[in-house]
Structure 1
Amino acid sequence: MTAPLLDVQNLTTSFRRDGAWREVVHGVSFTVNPRETVALVGESGSGKSVSALSLMRLTPRDSSRSGGRALFEGRDLLALPEAEMRKVRGDAIAMVFQEPMTSLNPVLTIGFQIAEGLMLHRGLTRDAAEAEAVRLLDRVRIPAARSRLHDYPHRFSGGMRQRVVIAMALACRPKLLIADEPTTALDVTVQAQILDLLKSLQDQEGMAVLFITHDMGVVAEIADRTVVMRHGRAVEAGDTAAIFRGAEHPYTRALLSSVPRLGSMAGEPRPLRFPIVSTTTGAVDVPPALPDTLKPADRPLLQVSGLTTRFDIRGGLFGRTRGRVHAVENVSFDLRAGETLSLVGESGCGKSTTGRSVLRLIEPAAGSVLLDGEDVLKLGPAALRERRKGMQMIFQDPFASLDPRMTVGKAIAEPILLNRLGNRAEARERTADLLARVGLSPDMAGRFPHEFSGGQRQRVCIARALAVRPRLIVADESVSALDVSVKAQVVNLMLELQASLGLAFLFISHDMAVVERVSHRVAVMYLGEIVEMGPRAAIFGAPQHPYTRRLLAAVPVPDPARRGARAALSVDEIRNPIRALDYLPPERRYREVSPGHVVQVWGEDWEPARPAAA
């Protein structure tokens, strides 16, 4: 029997806080064999990332300590002198982090950063290291690698930056790659590309992979064995296929049951709440169907027509306008009270800019936005401020949306007081009611944002959005950063509030499985334009546009038996939206393929990933 490449025995990690040591990883043990992929799975706070950082000895030296053994090729990583450990890091063991921009130095070119590790660990000259860097960039499928060697990180998209980080990690041909949530922040198509890339590079290099994630669909796609962590302990471990077939621990069953599955809404006429699974017993609570009390309005609440938003690009000595980013191009849709319209697409497609343009957080260049028949784009500052009571926004990052120095009670009461919807006593009463409505205790009003979990902070943001009694809410990637079980709870809350208050949601997301669950209608955006729009069942059941089919094909399937079933994916980036000043957008034509289901007419040579000239 082959000896494990990495053998972790009874790993413990403690952090010092207020003069006392607090253990956060409790006796975790697992092995990684040569050429094997092992997934460490769990929600935020489960200890999976801390375990990986402990193995690499990257936790703070003065305020942390680790115990147990971590045998890598027979040597205990936790006992090696620091000088020896530095030789191991980046050479025999490499690590890819979740956010590539924090892993790359913004003032150094990517070529220099890759070459630096090659010169340090492999003793190459500068010229030889740069030649090897070009080869590595080709390996990770960076288009025109040689011409991009001297580009800075900010000139790459998120997916391409992650490829650069992978190239850096592979520079010294490591025997073990630790990938810490490398695809969590990426769009579904880019995530699929990165997973395919990692698998192909693993096959070519023969390396082992320790993959850290909370996405069970990703686990099913890549992992040979899985270790499930909760509260700093490994609660279940075994063959991935066996765990998916019959998980034994209630927490594992809860994780698997909470995963939204594409196609689960077939035949369902209306959005459904997610089943909630107990992490202690594994029992599944299936909420009853939402009451169908909403009647279609005579006219839409929101009517968007010809919405166009562009951003000037300035340069040169006098800062002249040299080009424009065509972020949103001639977008039209409507939305009724009690309805959810989802805008989906990859980063850079214009969906978030569309939502912000509707609320005039960004000033559009053209078009109209009618809210209850009144054009929001023609309102003056005072009238716009008054109209904004009827339309609010929930942002992706709840922590960035809340003032860390202000209690959540004050944050929720602030819009009530500013808009003179009540005095301080009435604002306190309304705040307590809103906290209870979003599933939080009214006595939490005195807490600060850092005292809440991510899911609780998002509930606070929803309560604040509801404070002025809006009729329209733009939810911009509002559940994308949440763990799967917390995501289910927040989505259920939004659906319940919609049913009870008649809210209209413009739901912006790249998570196709969640979109299928919550939507009445779906609009697919590519390069600032809507390429397909229609009822949810039509978009997911009979997609017409090549780009829509590409998005759906990229969704990971949480079933190891169907591993590798996805079609081959393009590896290029979304087209460049920068246009010359004299550029005139082509006139688009749409055809109706079924009632309410329209698709943009495209040519036979349409290809969503072909780069366009700037």
Structure 2
Amino acid sequence: MQADLVASAGQKAAGTDPILRVENLKTTFRTGPGWTQIVKGISFEIGAQETLAVVGESGSGKSVTALSIMRLLDPEFSRIEGSVSLSGRELLTLPEAEMRKVRGRQIGMIFQEALTSLNPLATVGKQIAETLYIHGRMNGAAADAEAVRLLERVRIPAARNRANDLPHNLSGGMRQRVMIAMALACKPQLLIADEPTTALDVTIQAQILQLIKELQREEGMGVLFITHDMGVVAEIADRTVVMYGGELLEQGPTERIFDNAQNTYTKTLIAAVPRLGTMDGNGQPQHFPVIDKATGALRPPTQRRDTVDHGHEPVLSVRNLVKRFDLSSGLFGGVHGRVHAVENVSFDLHAGETLSLVGESGCGKSTTGRAIMRLVEPQSGEVHLAGTDIMALDKRRVRDMRRHIQMIFQDPFASLNPRIRVGEAIAEPYLTHKLGNRAQARAKVADLLVRVGLDPAVASRYPQQFSGGQRQRICIARALSLEPKVIVADESVSGLDVSIKAQVVNLLLDLQESLGLSYLFISHDMAVVERMSHRVAVMYLGEIVEMGPAASVFANPQHPYTKRLIAAVPVPDPARRNEVRKVANDEIKSPIRAADFVPPTRVYRTVASDHIVQDWEGDWKV
């Protein structure tokens, strides 16, 4: 099979030599007394101006493949075999001194975590200039001027001033642009982009993808794009390589992979991609198709019954919620400004309903969820849970109240104590609230693990012994241990691989159907929100700018910001890959205001049944 895959690689024009040729690449790591093979003999090629996507879930060997090509693995603890040739030059046998000249000059690399990849003590302009100096391109004032030019080229506004900023003073999208500028500084033949958009908001992701495509056309370079998101693959890749467990399962033109995938795993990845506009005829969410572990076949989408009864009082009612954070000058300095994180937010959530709060990072979504649970204390507003005024409760009664409203956090590993077995973690809230004895708690844990699709026997394991998706299921089980009425899910699927995300979303929908749960679903992923939600509230700079039934908001968005979010969602259609999309390059504005700032009175108008939008004037970003 491997020989067939090698033979089919590329499908390039006759006589065109590839920039990069990888043949039978094997990477092995030292594990204790022995060795474990991570990459198991993969082969592919990349031509000039061609983008090859290497796609697969976490642990499939994608990033190790890239690090092997760059020879960035510690030779004491790793072995790389096979062949990696760049324009006909074998890289695996190059002396290290020669390989250092290849890195950065002929092969540029963008890493997933821009903040950890940049020196926190050096300005971004100096770091780009250092790349030029190390590779002998230029130095001194010329290198500084070229660094500014590169920042301008990657669409960073006020580049001359931004060149003097430290990395932490830039947003995530801007830091990623700095990484791209650094990777392109020496005009490499090949650009390796390792999950460059995974942690970014959907609008920033769209900007980065568009930027990479534009720069590729200008420079004529090949791109090796590593991702787990098939939606991004369709957006950017000419050809696709699918990896699983270190092996190459399938490769070919992206159109053929999407239209006629041969491998079941590939079909699963494609089927799991959330797509906008795929609701059923009644405007109700459907499950994501996922693989059936017993049969190996895809489980088709199943329609969820509408369980929302708007004839009764809401289970959660929020009115005029305000949360601001003071900014002071030093220990004894006065307040010179405030972060208006949540500003006059109001909504209702009914039994069995999912209301999604959507928007980019910094819009106030998570702070809203935390303020409702009083994990942060709001300045003003009313929050009623099943008729109880949460804001009027003392600390003891607030803890009792949290039995009825639980939170699932974004990072499941950080949410679990690594020293406590998962069974104890799930049972802890049950025992703390004195809902039963230890024997009853053990039975409860076993039942909850079954509910979330795990074997009760795993209760004796520790969090680090589970995958990310399994850890999130454990966090869901813990939240369910108190039988809450409301669950606040704060970006609970955003960090997961696309197929694991599909499984967790399906699980949340199943639990809502069987237990009548209400979800406040916080996310920036518009495609997932469409599948999960009955209603959607769009937040910008701490305010709700549009809210209504999911079907109405997605079919007929009114506010410019809502339209921007929807337009930025990757289109999982390879046929549209070469389209030039109009993507706004501006970042979300700062919610910091002067200490004496008084928010303007907002006016909302009704555009359809239960669908409201905030009026805006001229520049709505003010």
Could you state the TM-score of these two structures normalised by the residue count of structure 2?
Answer: 0.95
**Residue 619 of structure 2 is aligned with which of 601, 606, 609?**
606
**Structure 2: gaps (5+ residues):** 1-14
| 2:39 equivalent among 25, 31, 34 | 25
Partner residue in 1 for 2:4: none
Deviates more, 1:380-389 or 1:366-375: 366-375
C-alpha distance in 1, partners of 2:509/2:364?
Answer: 25
Q: Distance in 2 between matches of 1:351 and 1:294?
A: 23
- 1:411 matched residue in structure 2: 425
Between 1:311-320 and 1:207-216, the stretch displaced more is 311-320
Q: Cα 1:503–1:281, aligned 2, differ >3 Å: closer, same or farther? A: closer
Q: Measure, in 2, the Cα distance between the counterparts of 1:588 and 1:293.
A: 32
Show the 5 A alignment for 1:308-319. 308-316=322-330, 318-319=332-333
Contact 1:390 1:469 in 2 (8 A): yes
Query: Would the alpha carbon gap of residues 438 and 231 (structure 1) be closer, same or farther in structure 2, given more than 3 Å must change?
Result: same
After superposition, give the CA deviation of every residue in 1:493-512 in whole Å (9 maximum; x if it has no partner).
11111111111100011111
Query: Contact 1:266–1:537 (CA<8 Å) still a contact in 2?
Result: no
RMSD value over aligned CA atoms? 1.5
Cα-to-partner distance string for 1:558-603 (whole Å, 9 max, x where unaligned)? 1111225564111011111110011011110000111100000111
Residue 91 of structure 2 corresponds to 77
Report the alpha carbon displacement of residue 35 of structure 1 after superposing the two structures with TM: 1.6
Q: Superposed, which structure 2 residues align to 1:236-251 within 5 Å?
A: 236-251=250-265
Q: Which residue of 2 aligns with 1:373?
A: 387
> Which letter maps to 2:619?
W
Show the counterpart of 2:247.
Answer: 233
Match of 1:454 in 2: 468
Larger deviation, residues 5-14 vs 313-322: 313-322
Retained in 2: the 8 A contact 1:257–1:277? Answer: no
Paired with 2:370 and 2:330, the residues of 1 have a C-alpha distance of: 29
Provide closer, same or farther for how the CA distance between residues 421 and 280 of structure 1 changes in structure 2, counting only shifts above 3 A: closer
- The letter for the 2-side match of 1:127 is A
What is the aligned partner in structure 1 of residue 610 from structure 2? 596
1:58-104 CA-to-partner distances (Å, cap 9, x unmatched) read 12332111100001122221111111111111111011011111111
Structure 1's consecutive aligned runs of 4 or more residues displaced over 6 angstroms after TM superposition are 279-282
**For 1:110 and 1:351, how far apart are their aligned partners in 2?**
30
Matched residue, 2:274: 260
Match of 1:473 in 2: 487
Contact in 1 for aligned 2:210/2:581 (Cα 8 Å): no
Is the Cα contact below 8 Å between 1:301 and 1:372 reproduced in 2? yes
Using the alignment, how far apart are the partners of 2:318 and 2:226 within structure 1?
42
Paired residues for 1:286-305 under 5 Å: 286=300, 288-291=302-305, 295-296=309-310, 298-305=312-319
SS in 1 for 2:92: helix
Structure 1, 524-533 or 566-575: larger mean CA deviation: 566-575
Amino acid at match of 1:449: P
SS in 2 for 1:128: helix
Aligned partner of 2:557 among 543, 567, 576 = 543
Following superposition, the deviation at residue 428 of structure 1 comes to: 1.1
Tell me, in whole angstroms, the C-alpha distance in 1 between the residues paired with 2:368 and 2:470: 27
Q: Deviation per CA, 1:203-246, whole angstroms, max 9, x where unpaired?
A: 11111110001111111111111111111111111111121121
User: CA deviation digits over 1:288-315, x for unaligned, max 9?
Assistant: 4345566445100111111111111122
3-state SS of the aligned residue for 2:285? Answer: coil
- Paired residue for 1:88? 102
The answer to whether residue 335 in structure 2 is matched with residue 307 in structure 1 is: no
Q: 2:372 aligns with which of 351, 358, 367?
A: 358
SS in 2 for 1:588: coil
Deviation of 1:278 (Å) = 4.8
Deviation at 1:316, TM superposition (A): 4.6
Equivalent pair of 1:122/1:172 in contact (CA under 8 Å): no
Shift of the 143–317 alpha-carbon distance from structure 1 to 2, 3 Å rule, reads same
Say which SS state the counterpart of residue 417 (structure 2) adopts: coil
TM (norm. structure 1) is 0.97
Matches within 5 A, 1:423-502: 423-502=437-516
CA distance in 1, matches of 2:193, 2:411: 23
The total of aligned residue pairs comes to 608
Moved more, 351-360 or 54-63: 54-63
The answer to whether the Cα contact below 8 Å between 1:241 and 1:560 also exists between their aligned partners in 2 is: yes
Amino acid at match of 1:68: G
Aligned-pair distance for 1:318? 3.0
- SS in structure 2 of the partner of residue 227 of structure 1: strand
Q: Give the superposition deviation at 1:282.
A: 6.5
2:218 to 195, 204, 207: 204
Structure 1 residue 150, shift from structure 2 partner: 1.2
- Map Cα deviations across residues 400-445 of structure 1 (whole Å, 9 max, x no partner): 1111111101111111111111221111111111111111111100
**Cα distance in 1 between the residues matched to 2:515 and 2:169:** 44
Counterpart AA for 1:378: A
One of 320, 340, 358 as aligned partner of 1:344: 358
1:479-503 CA distances to partner (integer Å, 9 max, x unpaired)? 1111111111111111111111111
1:132 and 2:146 are equivalent in the alignment? yes
Contact 1:179 1:210 in 2 (8 A): yes
On the 8 A contact 2:271/2:288 being kept in 1, the answer is no
> Structure 2 counterpart of 1:579, which letter?
R
The equivalent position to 1:97 in structure 2, one of 111, 114, 133, is 111
Structure 1 residue 126: Cα displacement:
2.4
**What is the CA–CA distance in structure 1 between the aligned matches of 2:167 and 2:334, rounded to whole Å?**
25
Q: Does 1:166 align with 2:180?
A: yes
Structure 1 residue 319: deviation in Å? 3.2
Aligned partner of 1:606: which letter?
D
Matches of 2:54 and 2:46 in 1, distance apart?
Answer: 11
Q: Secondary structure at the match of 2:347?
A: strand
Residues 97 and 180, structure 1, Cα contact 8 Å, conserved in 2: yes
**Number of the residue aligned with 2:12:** none
Q: Provide the rounded CA distance (Å) in 1 between the counterparts of 2:25 and 2:347.
A: 55
Structure 2 counterpart SS, 1:78: coil
Q: Where in structure 2 are the equivalents of 1:17-56 lying within 5 Å?
A: 17-56=31-70
Counterpart CA distance in 1 for 2:362 and 2:17 is: 46
In structure 2, C-alpha distance between the alignment counterparts of 1:294 and 1:555, rounded to whole Å: 28
Q: Is the 8 A contact 2:129 2:139 kept in 1?
A: no
Identity, in percent, stands at 63
5+ residue gaps, structure 1, are none
- Whether 1:271 and 2:285 are equivalent positions in the alignment is yes
In structure 2, the CA distance between the partners of 1:436 and 1:317, relative to structure 1 (3 Å rule), is: closer
Distance (whole Å) between structure 1 residues aligned to residue 474 and residue 311 of structure 2: 30
